[in-house]
């Protein structure tokens, strides 16, 4: 439409600078193998957050079919009107136990949960301290909130300590991801707990990429480090290892009561489907009763990272199932991704502004069900693609 010609100009600019994004449609998923619309061949997926292959699990499908027969699909109203059903209550109770918290509250997404927590709990006169590489949902939420916010670099604890020592603020909050979504490294939670205790701060941890995958019981990095009792608020988006949608906020009962009363992203939205609650309960059961999925994921990561490093590829500081391969230039990254695609591997290019300028990358995410054949195949195809792209002009 002519009225939107200003948008066309901007889209052309994005295309010229290799920054245009397009949707790709997946038609079927069988384990790590997928089929995309318009393409006859199967691709091995290396960019999904379905780390434990729970999204396509038969037990989840059975639970969903049973729930849809019993409840239909939609909740029909917001939680506070008449949208709260048995499934929501059960999910909240089971996830509170899982995260060793007094209480838990279910949100429609991780984005909404971070918005709700950071625009509701920190007040005017408070200070919110964010890791520079926290997820966009955390940064945007802090920007939308009433508290002052500052960022710190996670390899610069002295800066964080200095910010915490500022006595002008009523309360201080430290907000971090546990496993960082683009670099795949881990926050130094032990140090953050020390600092929060020393400065009487409140620690909020987004376990999006660790919940389900790390820890003896699968509750995330805080669980792995024995720090569950020291984290004040856990935000756990459930669209990743748990293979469904939604997010849990696990905290003290007065915190979740406050969110129920004050958080606009909880109050003014239709409740999550009871069918999604059934999927979440089935997924939680798998996470608790099948630790072998976590073990297989960890072994696959170790194997692939070692192979990629042996090829001289830059996997940054990754220590998890998210393994970035830093390429730098966006055009080269697109070329590498498209070469992999032709060879049967789907690993999307991640470009600015999702990551910093000059650090475009493939964000390889590993799954429990990847086989050695998948991992070796990817490593070989990547090595070939990098050789070819080295001759490409930026
Ligand atoms: C660290 C982190 N937090 C929050 C979110 C948002 O979660 P959701 O996809 O459920 O909105 C994501 C990713 O989407 C994420 O990577």
DSSP sequence for 89-137: HHHHHHHHHHTT-SEEEEES-HHHHHHHHHHHSS-TT-EEEEETT--HH
Checking if the pLDDT of 313 tops 80, the result is yes
What is the distance in A from the centroid of ligand 1 to the CA of 319?
19
Residue 177 is a catalytic residue: yes
pLDDT class of 40 with cuts at 50, 70, 90: confident
Asked if 11 and 20 count as a contact pair (C-beta separation under 8 A), the reply is: yes
Q: Provide the token pair at 154.
A: 């996670």
Overall average pLDDT of the 36-45 stretch: 88
What is the distance in A from the centroid of ligand 1 to the CA of 367?
18
Q: CATH: 3.40.630.10, 3.40.640.10, 3.90.1150.10, 3.30.465.10. Which one for 23-51+291-389?
A: 3.90.1150.10
Tens of pLDDT along 295-308?
999 999 999 999 99
What is the distance in A from the centroid of ligand 1 to the CA of 246?
10
Per annotation, catalytic residue among 88, 196, 209, 332? 209
pLDDT at residue 304, rounded to an integer: 98
Tens of pLDDT along 259-310?
999 999 999 999 999 999 999 999 999 999 999 999 999 999 999 999 999 9
Which residue has 């069918």 as its token pair?
A: 275
What one-character DSSP code corresponds to residue 5? H
Domain residue extents for the chain? 23-51+291-389, 58-289
The alpha carbon torsion through 16, 17, 18, 19 (nearest 10 deg) reads -110
Checking if the pLDDT of 28 tops 90, the result is no
111 Cβ inside 6 Å of ligand 1: yes
Checking if the pLDDT of 319 tops 90, the result is yes
Separation in Å, CA 100 to CA 78, 217, 219, 227, 252: 27, 11, 9, 10, 10
Q: Output the average pLDDT for the chain.
A: 95
CA distance between the termini of the chain: 33
Asked if 188 and 174 count as a contact pair (C-beta separation under 8 A), the reply is: no
Overall average pLDDT of the 8-28 stretch: 90
Q: State the fold for domain 58-289.
A: 3.40.640
Tens of pLDDT along 83-105?
999 999 999 999 999 999 999 99
pLDDT at residue 391, rounded to an integer: 73
pLDDT class of 393 with cuts at 50, 70, 90: low
Checking if the pLDDT of 54 tops 90, the result is yes
Which of 36-40, 71-75, 180-184, 198-202 has the weakest average pLDDT? Answer: 36-40
């Amino acid at each position: 439409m002519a009225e939107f010609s200003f948008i066309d100009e901007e889209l052309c600019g994005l295309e010229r600078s290799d920054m245009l994004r397009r949707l790709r449609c997946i038609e079927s998923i069988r384990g790590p193998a997928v089929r995309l619309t318009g393409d006859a061949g199967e691709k091995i997926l290396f960019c999904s957050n379905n780390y434990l292959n729970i999204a396509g699990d038969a037990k989840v499908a059975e639970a969903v079919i049973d729930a849809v027969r019993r409840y239909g699909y939609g909740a029909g109203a917001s939680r506070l009107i008449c949208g709260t059903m048995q499934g929501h209550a059960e999910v909240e109770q089971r996830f509170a136990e899982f995260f060793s918290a007094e209480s838990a509250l279910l949100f429609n997404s991780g984005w909404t949960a971070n918005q709700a927590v950071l625009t509701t709990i920190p007040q005017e006169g408070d200070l919110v301290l964010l890791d520079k590489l926290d997820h966009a949902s955390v940064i945007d939420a802090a920007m939308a909130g009433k508290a002052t916010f500052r960022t710190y670099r996670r390899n610069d604890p002295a800066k964080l300590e200095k910010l915490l020592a500022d006595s002008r603020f009523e309360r201080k909050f430290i907000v971090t991801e546990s496993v960082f979504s683009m670099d795949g490294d881990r926050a130094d939670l032990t140090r953050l707990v020390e600092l929060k205790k020393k400065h009487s701060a409140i620690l909020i941890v987004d376990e999006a990429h660790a919940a389900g995958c790390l820890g003896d019981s699968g509750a995330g990095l805080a669980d792995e480090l024995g720090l569950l009792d020291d984290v004040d608020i856990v935000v756990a988006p459930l669209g990743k290892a748990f293979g469904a949608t939604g997010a849990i906020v696990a905290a003290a009962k007065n915190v979740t009561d406050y969110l129920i009363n004050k958080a606009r992203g909880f109050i003014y939205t239709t409740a999550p489907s009871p069918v999604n609650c059934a999927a979440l309960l089935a997924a939680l059961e798998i996470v608790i009763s099948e630790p072998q999925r976590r073990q297989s994921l960890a072994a696959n990561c170790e194997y692939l990272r070692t192979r990629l490093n042996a090829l001289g590829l830059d996997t940054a500081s990754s220590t998890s199932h998210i393994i970035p391969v830093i390429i730098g230039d966006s055009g080269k990254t697109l070329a590498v991704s498209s070469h992999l695609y032709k060879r049967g591997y789907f690993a999307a290019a991640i470009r600015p502004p999702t990551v910093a300028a000059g650090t475009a990358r493939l964000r390889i995410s590993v799954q429990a069900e990847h086989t050695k054949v998948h991992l070796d195949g990817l490593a070989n195809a990547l090595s070939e693609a990098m050789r070819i792209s080295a001759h490409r002009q930026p």
